[in-house]
Structure 1
Amino acid sequence: MSSSSPYIDYTTFTSPTFSAPAYANSLVLSTNNPTDTPLDLSTPLSRVLFDVQEVDTHIDTLTTKHALPIIQHTQSRSAASTRVLESVEEQVRSLNESYKRLEREVLERHESAEQVRVAAARMLRTLRLGRGVQRAVQLGRQLEGQMEEVGREGVVRVGEARGMVPAANTVLGLRGLFGAGGKGEEGEGLERVKVVVTLRTEVVSPVERVLLQRAQQVVREFSMSSLLASGGPGQQGGQSTQTFAQTEDTKTRATNALQTLYLLSPTKPTSTLINFEPTLLISALQTYLQTALTSSLAALTRALATLPTLDRTLLEISARCQNIVALEALLATVSPPPHPLLSPHSPPTTTDDELATSNFLTPLNRHLDTSSLPSYFWRSMAGQLSSRVQEIMNRGGVSARTLRTNRDRVRDAIRECVDRGSQLPVSSLSAGKRADGKVGNWEREAAVMVQSVMGPLQR
């Protein structure tokens, strides 16, 4: 190019670093003095126009001279592009056909399979829900039949008491079914079924309340002492007027009531055999003890103010304590029944754990923080009796003078009351007890009771 056009510097124009502003600036500086005012731009403009015209002419010459090779090259590139396009279109058509075949063979079948899967899952949930409803209704009918045997009011007979534990187990079965609402479990969705909601509110809940009331009634009416029916305080320990069969009936009723209260006590999801606390059972027994304590304290306070009634009152208190002794002996022999809602694992690992789950007496003693129920009875009453006696002495009058005058008789009567109350009812004696029926040494409790009365009298 440079040989055919020596006037144009093609090397500068074709350089990758060519800059039009820099080239124009160099032309202006080469034809003008930078200090001249104004600058002469006609010369560099003419140079640029000349270069442009020369380049245009050169391009036209080259194009005319090499027109045929250029056309042939263009045709070859166009043909190559056409061949590439045809090949690509063929591949695209093949890909589209493969996709349509895949859609027919996989996607459509997958959609059909997904519909079948959804339908099967819904049928499974419906079947599981139906089984849950069927089981709930079946347990509800079973519970109603059991409650016909238990009865809803009146004295609880032995046959009725025997039906309380099976009824309690049925209630626990329904409670577990209603509580098992997790995904995939039998009770899932039961809370949305109207017949189950009706069953729960109109059958299960009322029956559970009645069952609880009947069990509490048996515990509240527990009595094995025959002191009041055996002739009076002169008969140490009393001659029982209860037959062996009647005593066994009382034990049977109480045992079934205690086990029912144990089963109906609320549980937590994390409850196990070791950490479970039968709150309803403990509450019923504590209420029994508190009732005996309150009645005895009120009666003894009245009797100390009117001494002629003291012997009869102390006999009643001894009878209450004998009932507590008999209850303690019974609790020590009654084992907790199997609980369907308690975790079957985590077996007892220590002797204390085995003892805590072996009978009903241990959790009650632990709750009351005592080692003996009769000792708890006497010490609790003695703790409140001193203030009552002090009130009698503060009021003065005939009651206070009579009480102070007969304090030796009162002391002996109270000691005899504690000694008499510490004996098991004769019908409850086992071969391992002493012949007189006395359980343990109650000298300390007798001294505490005597001091609670004699202390205010000596002031």
Structure 2
Amino acid sequence: MTATASEISYIDYETFLSPSFSPHAFASTLITSTNDPSDPTVDLTTPLSRVLFDLQEIDTHIHTLTTTSSLPLLTYTSRSHTASTSLLAAITAQTTALNAAYTRLSQSILTRSEPATQLITTVTNLHTTTSLLRELGRALVLARQLEIQLAESPTPMIRAAHSVVELRKLLAANAASMDGIDLATDLHRLIVTPAESALVARSRETLGSFSLLPTATAGGTAFALDPAVVAEGQRPAVTAALQTLQLLQGGSGLAGTIQALLNTQVTASIALLTRALTALTMLDRTLVEVAARCRTLVAVEEMLAGVGLAAEVLSELDTGALSTSFFRSVAAGWEPRVREVVARGGTNARILRTGREKLREGVRGCVLKGLGDEGRGEFEVAVMVGAVGSLGR
């Protein structure tokens, strides 16, 4: 160790070089170590002198080091300055080359990119417009095709329904791009919506007019009980109506129409049977008509099965068969009417009680004829016969 280093070795360099060094804590330690804590006066001369002495010693040491090492320090500084100058020159040259390259790129590429971008935008807009016009053209073709189909006979209703569905999907798929185009709005408002309403109304009318009710003849009463013999001109129209409703309104919409048809047949049958209770001469003809109304529903169910819609519709209606729902509902509505007649008494009540077995047989025959299937009908027969249970055994 040199003489200079030994002279200042008493300085605690570790304390001053510590990252956690605090001048406030160091000053507090100097003051408390050079003063009596019980003395009310504080003497700062001694700690201040010590600090100043330490600073003077460190300054002297720094001066000594710089004086003895001035040549190496100047040599190091000169070399650093030369290296920095060379590095700056190299960076400046690279920066100049980079700026020149950027200028060339701006002139050869960026300047040309603006018209290219405008061209791409123009082509994109033209493509979008062309696609939109193509879709509008398809929509117009479909709309014209739909008008022609609606003008034809009821049989092509299915084709018209398919056209409505396709046109509706096309307009929905392009709703965003066609927003604000009057033609698209008019197609939906003036073509799609009225056509759909017309097809639904025509289909419901076709179903409502379909019937296997008896027709009066010169020799009595006759009617078709077997759906297989329904006129070919009527069966295709009914089948088309069922499929049309399925396409336009889905399973629930078709089921709702079938439910309305079922309710109509049930209401009419209850009214006929109730009226026959007070005009017994009409009872046989009434039972024939009730059977025919059931056969109408059986025929509709068979047509549903023929186009694969029976399972879905029956599931929507929560029933195993339309005929079962028919007789169950008829029995539920007729039974209170029978009890009323019996409760009122009189000639009709006596005649009904006297001929109750014949009435039960007539009801049984009505159910079996309505079902048209000798292998089933126990439940339906029991329900309908139970409706006249108030007549006694």
Q: Shared fold (TM-score greater than 0.5)?
A: yes
Q: Secondary structure at the match of 2:231?
A: helix
User: Are the aligned partners of 1:328 and 1:373 in contact in 2 as well (CA < 8 Å)?
Assistant: yes
User: Are the aligned partners of 2:212 and 2:223 in contact in 1 as well (CA < 8 Å)?
Assistant: no
Counterpart residue number, 1:364: 313
- CA distance in 1 between partners of 2:167 and 2:361 (Å): 57
Q: CA deviation at 1:302?
A: 1.6
* Aligned CA distance change for structure 1 residues 15 and 290 (closer, same or farther; 3 Å): closer
Counterpart residue number, 2:385: 450
- CA distance in 1 between partners of 2:267 and 2:314 (Å): 19
Q: CA deviation at 1:76?
A: 7.6
* Aligned CA distance change for structure 1 residues 77 and 409 (closer, same or farther; 3 Å): closer
Q: CA deviation at 1:117?
A: 3.7
Q: Which has the higher helix share?
A: 2
- CA distance in 2 between partners of 1:204 and 1:218 (Å): 21
Q: Secondary structure at the match of 2:154?
A: helix
Counterpart residue number, 1:327: 300
Q: CA deviation at 1:170?
A: 0.4
The answer on 1:254 being equivalent to 2:235 is no
135-144 vs 371-380, greater mean Cα deviation: 371-380
Task: Give the counterpart of 1:296 among 269, 293, 302.
Answer: 269
Q: CA deviation at 1:216?
A: 0.5
User: Are the aligned partners of 2:212 and 2:296 in contact in 1 as well (CA < 8 Å)?
Assistant: yes
165-174 vs 99-108, greater mean Cα deviation: 99-108
Deviations 1:276-299 (A, max 9, x none): xx2222222222122111110111
Counterpart residue number, 2:168: 175
User: Are the aligned partners of 1:324 and 1:373 in contact in 2 as well (CA < 8 Å)?
Assistant: yes
Counterpart residue number, 2:284: 311
* Aligned CA distance change for structure 1 residues 104 and 458 (closer, same or farther; 3 Å): same
The answer on 1:415 being equivalent to 2:388 is no
Q: What aligned pairs does 1:226-305 form with structure 2 within 5 A after superposition?
A: 226-229=214-217, 231-232=219-220, 238=222, 247-266=231-250, 278-305=251-278
| Paired-residue identity, % | 34
Q: 5+ residue gaps in structure 1?
A: 30-36, 150-159, 182-186, 267-277, 336-358, 424-438
Q: CA deviation at 1:225?
A: 4.4
Counterpart residue number, 1:397: 346
Q: What aligned pairs does 1:3-402 form with structure 2 within 5 A after superposition?
A: 82-108=85-111, 113-149=116-152, 160-181=153-174, 188-229=176-217, 231-232=219-220, 238=222, 247-266=231-250, 278-332=251-305, 334-335=306-307, 359-402=308-351
User: Are the aligned partners of 1:228 and 1:316 in contact in 2 as well (CA < 8 Å)?
Assistant: no
User: Are the aligned partners of 1:305 and 1:403 in contact in 2 as well (CA < 8 Å)?
Assistant: no
Structure 1-normalised TM-score?
A: 0.65
Counterpart residue number, 2:38: none
The residue type paired with residue 457 of structure 1 is L
The residue type paired with residue 262 of structure 1 is Q
- CA distance in 1 between partners of 2:108 and 2:44 (Å): 82
Q: 5+ residue gaps in structure 2?
A: 17-22, 35-40
Q: CA deviation at 1:310?
A: 1.9
Deviations 1:174-200 (A, max 9, x none): 12112324xxxxx65224422111211
The residue type paired with residue 386 of structure 2 is Q
User: Are the aligned partners of 2:291 and 2:369 in contact in 1 as well (CA < 8 Å)?
Assistant: yes
245-254 vs 128-137, greater mean Cα deviation: 245-254
Deviations 1:199-226 (A, max 9, x none): 1122210111011000010001102344
Q: CA deviation at 1:164?
A: 0.9
Q: Secondary structure at the match of 1:162?
A: coil
- CA distance in 2 between partners of 1:81 and 1:145 (Å): 89
Deviations 1:19-75 (A, max 9, x none): 7999xx8xxx9xxxxxxx998979x98xx89x97xx99x979x99xx9999999988
* Aligned CA distance change for structure 1 residues 73 and 283 (closer, same or farther; 3 Å): closer
- CA distance in 2 between partners of 1:15 and 1:99 (Å): 58
- CA distance in 1 between partners of 2:346 and 2:229 (Å): 51
Q: CA deviation at 1:14?
A: 11
- CA distance in 2 between partners of 1:285 and 1:215 (Å): 11
Q: CA deviation at 1:251?
A: 0.9
User: Are the aligned partners of 2:224 and 2:230 in contact in 1 as well (CA < 8 Å)?
Assistant: no
Task: Give the counterpart of 1:440 among 360, 364, 374.
Answer: 374
- CA distance in 1 between partners of 2:260 and 2:303 (Å): 17
The residue type paired with residue 374 of structure 2 is G
Q: CA deviation at 1:138?
A: 2.0
- CA distance in 2 between partners of 1:319 and 1:77 (Å): 116
* Aligned CA distance change for structure 1 residues 361 and 231 (closer, same or farther; 3 Å): farther
Q: Secondary structure at the match of 2:126?
A: helix
Structure 2-normalised TM-score?
A: 0.75
User: Are the aligned partners of 1:319 and 1:421 in contact in 2 as well (CA < 8 Å)?
Assistant: yes
Q: Secondary structure at the match of 2:232?
A: helix
Counterpart residue number, 1:426: none
Q: Secondary structure at the match of 1:248?
A: coil
Q: How many residues align?
A: 376
- CA distance in 2 between partners of 1:13 and 1:111 (Å): 76
- CA distance in 2 between partners of 1:363 and 1:451 (Å): 31
User: Are the aligned partners of 2:262 and 2:326 in contact in 1 as well (CA < 8 Å)?
Assistant: yes
Q: CA deviation at 1:106?
A: 5.0
* Aligned CA distance change for structure 1 residues 213 and 14 (closer, same or farther; 3 Å): same
Q: CA deviation at 1:112?
A: 5.1
- CA distance in 2 between partners of 1:295 and 1:40 (Å): 121
Q: CA deviation at 1:264?
A: 1.1
- CA distance in 1 between partners of 2:129 and 2:181 (Å): 12
